[in-house]
Structure 1
């Protein structure tokens, strides 16, 4: 009976260690995913800014072309 309890405790310790390793791995994976998300959000913001700048430049060009057309 004592061996059985010792074996159960050893199995429980092994399982707890496995769960701790899994928790560490998941924590690290979560950290990496959060970093990737932040990077993608920053990239998206930069692309939106570039898009807005391009749109404003195109609108300005169209306005100048219309002005030239009216003066011609």
Structure 2
């Protein structure tokens, strides 16, 4: 293999290695973002359940008050 061919191949390999490192970093950021929105989603679901239970409780109390009247 000629020296020029070897240099071209080396340059291409270095470019591929840099691209792989960029993709790894991007993948880590995306995974961290996904973990964050999953945690936020779980928190919002929990808050929604709490609110639903409160509303159901209020409705039950209102119905009880209405029946007592």
TM-score normalized by structure 1? 0.94
Offset at residue 49 of structure 1 (A): 0.3
- The residue aligned with 1:51 is 48
* CA-to-aligned-CA distance 1:2-53 (integer Å, 9 cap, x gap): xx71000000000000000000000000000000000000000000000000
In the alignment, is residue 70 of structure 1 matched against residue 59 of structure 2?
no
Gaps of 5+ in 1: none
- Say what the alpha-carbon RMSD is for the aligned residues: 0.8
Residue among 20, 25, 48 paired with 1:23: 20
The ranges of structure 1 where at least 4 consecutive aligned residues each deviate by more than 6 angstroms after the TM superposition are none
Q: Give the TM-score taking structure 2 as reference length.
A: 0.98
* Bigger radius of gyration among the two: 1
